[in-house]
Amino acid sequence: MNTHVLALDQGTTSSRAIVFDAQARVVAMAQQEFPQHFPHPGWVEHDANDIWHTQLAVAGQALAQAGIGAAQLSAIGITNQRETTVLWDRASGEPVGRAIVWQDRRTVPRCAELSRGARAAGIQRKTGLVIDAYFSATKLQWLLDHTPGARRRAEAGELAFGTVDSWLVYKLTGGRCHVTDASNASRTLLFDLHRLQWDAALLRSFDIPLSVLPRVVPSSGVFAETDPALLGAAVPLAGLAGDQQAATFGQACFAPGMAKATYGTGCFMLMNTGTQAVPSRNRLLTTVAWQGPAQAPARTAYALEGSVFMAGATVQWLRDGLGLLERAAEVEALAASVSDTGDVFLVPAFAGLGAPDWDGDARGLLIGLTRGTTRAHIARAALEAIVLQAADVFDAMGRDSGVALTELRVDGGAARNDLLLQLQADALGVPVVRPEVTETTALGAAFLAGLATGVWPDAQALSATWRAQRRFEPRLAEPPRRAWRARWREAVARSRGWAQAGAARP
């Protein structure tokens, strides 16, 4: 039996491909960045063809580095940036305009209008989501309304919508397969979380024709094969999950109450709630974690989620926007060169605030500056902003679930930053654990695909491959921890509503 799995990990700023063996070890990895487009303030776009071409290229590179051919793969698993909205022509396979990225805020006014309506509470009950520009529905509505002829063509069945997973599958199968999985579908505001299907009333609320939507398939299970001309052989496509759900699976968070945080462009936190879709009273999201076969940890598992929009992107801003760093990796040493921030706080609300505040009109704030403030203090304030935002989310999760966090598993690029993880343990007051394999988003996609094709027989076998690399114990006593976090909340309060107040000025 073939025991290698190829994971395609399509992210916000780059496409990656990783080959894993049956011991869940990385055999080979390739990565390519692609351009970001910012045509107006608050708008973020991608060329979907850039996504496709870079993803296909790195798949071939990873196989070449591993010294294997596509015919030697057991399966391919796909994980992707979520909510990003692609609309394309079914016949030609070409995008209809640029993709609207999850970070894009152009539909904030439409979301505000919907939030004031009588249907808002029903939308949240069905979807587990708040009405926000973050999700796909208003992005898709915007594309249909602002692309000449798009709505007419969509209603005639000529156009296809998908999040990035759907787009990649469509291209990998030569246009034969238009699907998504429940983890991605549950991020659109169009999917009934409880009945696990597209909902007619939701489609009417957002004026979306059913004809553009993909078929929903399990996250783990063979659903198609690749076009053999692309990689040299037809390979089963057997794993599909949004990046944060895939990372939760890759961290082996299979039991209710287990939680992970992924530090990427944003910071995304999920807590497994088992087979129950737990409604949030604290403005968190309820989402499908995964759907799988009988040997999966749960046929359908749910999670509570909180999203911080600016994590690694905050460090990128220090580098590219302020010029404080030459390389993002320098932030740890610079921040560690001072023992504290000197009461400087950075609230990186550059694209508004996510959970649990959900304020699209909040804007970035740097406060507490004195003549003694240096770039090191600002760098440390940036790292503290990441961990303090995460701590706010986990507090809300505990209140919703009734389960106190006892350990946090972490991954993503910034999880290599020891200072960041120590600050996170101090902010939470619980241990933070970094695994040996930090590429857990891709690993989760590989797990889902390998579980469906027999590389791993069951969840116990998957858990056996997870190994801790380092454990960070909290060092901060409770009184200073409470004071630190209260001061942070003061800064957050001052950032809120700034864009709205500015718009009201003459």
Buried b (16+ CB within 10 A) or exposed e, 203-212: bebbebeeeb
Q: Which residues lie closer than 8 Å to 236 by C-beta, 6 or more apart?
A: 74, 75, 76, 222, 224, 225, 449, 452, 453
Pair of tokens at residue 97: 């305009």
**What pLDDT score does 296 carry?**
57
Decide if 342 contacts 368 (C-beta within 8 A). yes
**What pLDDT score does 401 carry?**
86
Pair of tokens at residue 349: 């609300």
How many residues are listed for the chain in this entry? 506
- Taking only the tens of pLDDT, the chain with its 506 residues reads 688 999 999 998 899 999 999 999 999 999 999 999 999 988 999 999 999 999 999 999 999 999 999 999 999 999 999 999 999 999 999 999 999 999 899 999 999 899 887 788 889 999 999 898 989 999 999 999 999 999 999 999 999 999 999 999 999 999 999 999 999 999 999 999 999 999 999 999 999 999 999 999 999 999 999 999 999 999 999 999 999 999 999 999 988 888 999 898 889 899 998 888 999 888 899 999 999 865 556 589 999 998 888 899 999 999 999 999 999 999 999 999 999 999 999 999 998 888 888 888 999 999 999 999 999 999 999 999 999 999 999 999 988 988 888 899 998 888 999 999 999 999 999 999 999 988 899 999 999 999 999 999 888 899 999 999 999 999 999 999 999 999 999 999 999 999 877 665 55
Distances in Å between the alpha carbon of 129 and those of 141, 166, 189, 478?
17, 21, 7, 33
Whole-angstrom distance, CA of residue 409 vs CA of residue 390: 13
Helix (H, G, I), strand (E, B) or coil at 87: strand
Buried b (16+ CB within 10 A) or exposed e, 85-95: bbbbebeeeeb
Q: Which candidate, 264, 247, 267, 262, places its Cα nearest to that of 385?
A: 267
Model pTM score = 0.85
Helix (H, G, I), strand (E, B) or coil at 63: helix
Buried b (16+ CB within 10 A) or exposed e, 43-65: ebbbbbbbbbebbbebbebbbee
**What pLDDT score does 495 carry?**
96
- Classify burial at 159, counting beta carbons within 10 Å of its beta carbon; exposed 0-12, middle 13-18, buried 19 or more: buried
What are 411's strand-pairing partners? 262
Decide if 198 contacts 192 (C-beta within 8 A). yes
**What pLDDT score does 168 carry?**
98
Helix %, strand %, coil % of the chain (to 5): 40, 25, 40
Whole-angstrom distance, CA of residue 134 vs CA of residue 138: 9
- Provide the 10 A C-beta neighbour count for residue 172: 25
